[in-house]
Amino acid sequence: MNPRRSDTRLLVCVLWIFILFTATAEAQTVKITPLGSHAGEFCRNDRAMLFEDPTGVRILYDPGRTVDETDGRLGIIHAVLLSSVHPDHIGDVKPNPASPGTCAAPGTVSAAPNSNAANIAAAKNAAVITGGEMAEFLGRKIQNIRGGTATPGCPTVGLTNEMVVPLQAPCTASTRPGGSRTVRLVTATNGVKIANIPAFHSNGIPASLVDSPGVAPGTTGYGGNDGGFIVQFTNGLRVYLTADTGLSADMDLVVRRFYQPSVVVINVGDVFSLGPEEAVFAIRELIKPRTVIPSHINEAATSGGAVVTGSRLELLLNGLSIGTGEIFLRGGLINVVLPLSGITHQFDRNGLCVDCQ
């Protein structure tokens, strides 16, 4: 046999295997499920989102006031990402099943003194990944829930600071801007990378969640810097979670140029974070993603799943020159997917929703 022909055949086989492997990886999708207060709607308190990687890693982002540890929608949770300890993110109150209220004013009961985030992490044996001094604060809350058992720091192994899930007990993991951690399912070869991104906001711990002896009336505890996240999934999809923030040059210089996310979950509550006009500028001029998922709207943004006239959401869509008649809104180079509670959508590595209508 001609040695050169044999080598050529081997090379062709290797290339075909590589092409098939790449095509399979690219065909895999990330599932994103908003977990709001009212099914099929985008409501005032809605913050929580559940992400599921193709390998099975499940990540809960900012549980807020719409999910607690008893919520059947959660299922397995491997990690909780918490952007800040402000009440509407950490969850100072939880849903009131006996009085669900309205989309504009959901019914709640107190989650003090521990918070929804801590209760969920303790119940699910999840890793809490957060910034600033929030990891230590959540660690103490989880310790209180677990009867005094100290909460360990999450392991960091190798160059990617990897932790393998599922865990046998909850743990806490701090990140700082420029740093990252990786969460890998025990049966997988690759993991989900989570990087810290600065957010321009504040981060005071509410008095109702501060342990004895507490803080002076009208003041808050210290939570350190708040922050958003870049989440890189194993199919190649990169998602930017802005958290509560204002405009910053980092959205262009760091987020777009370095991390290059194709999906952005953007908080558009106004007053304390980006308003609709600022969000439009951030999306069009700074981040330039393929798909946008609005969040943290602080209003009943939909009714029957349709955009409410005169809402912040409508202002955002009008600024992006996108119509408001469908759940999945296409507008030139930018798509918008409305985070209707309980409706799961799948996203490919390029940030396109593959099952949106």
Quote the domain boundaries for residue 89: 30-347
* pLDDT surpasses 60 at 16: no
Total number of domains in the chain = 1
pLDDT in tens, 292-334: 999 999 999 999 999 999 999 999 999 887 655 443 444 456 8
| Tokens describing residue 246 | 């204002």
Confidence of residue 207 (pLDDT cuts 50, 70, 90): confident
| Residues 12/5, Cβ–Cβ less than 8 Å | no
Residue 47 lies in a domain: yes
The identity of residue 326, as a single letter, is E
pLDDT of residue 22: 45
Residue 240 lies in a domain: yes
131: nearest Cα among 184, 203, 72, 41: 203
Nearest 5 degrees, angle CA 99-CA 327-CA 357? 130
Residue 118 lies in a domain: yes
Query: Between residues 26 and 214, which one has the greater pLDDT?
Result: 214
Residue 174 lies in a domain: yes
pLDDT in tens, 20-34: 444 454 579 999 999
Going by their DSSP bridges, the two strands 263-267 and 238-241 should be labelled as parallel
Residue 356 lies in a domain: no
* pLDDT surpasses 90 at 201: no
Residue 12 lies in a domain: no
Residue 98 lies in a domain: yes
Residue 15 lies in a domain: no
- Kindly report the backbone phi and psi dihedral angles of residue 209, in degrees, each rounded to the nearest multiple of 5, phi listed first: -105, 0
pLDDT in tens, 41-71: 999 999 999 999 999 999 999 999 999 999 9
Query: Between residues 20 and 107, which one has the greater pLDDT?
Result: 107
CATH of the domain at 315: 3.60.15.10
Listed in sequence order, the residues at least 6 apart from 169 whose beta carbon sits closer than 8 Å to its beta carbon are 125, 149, 152
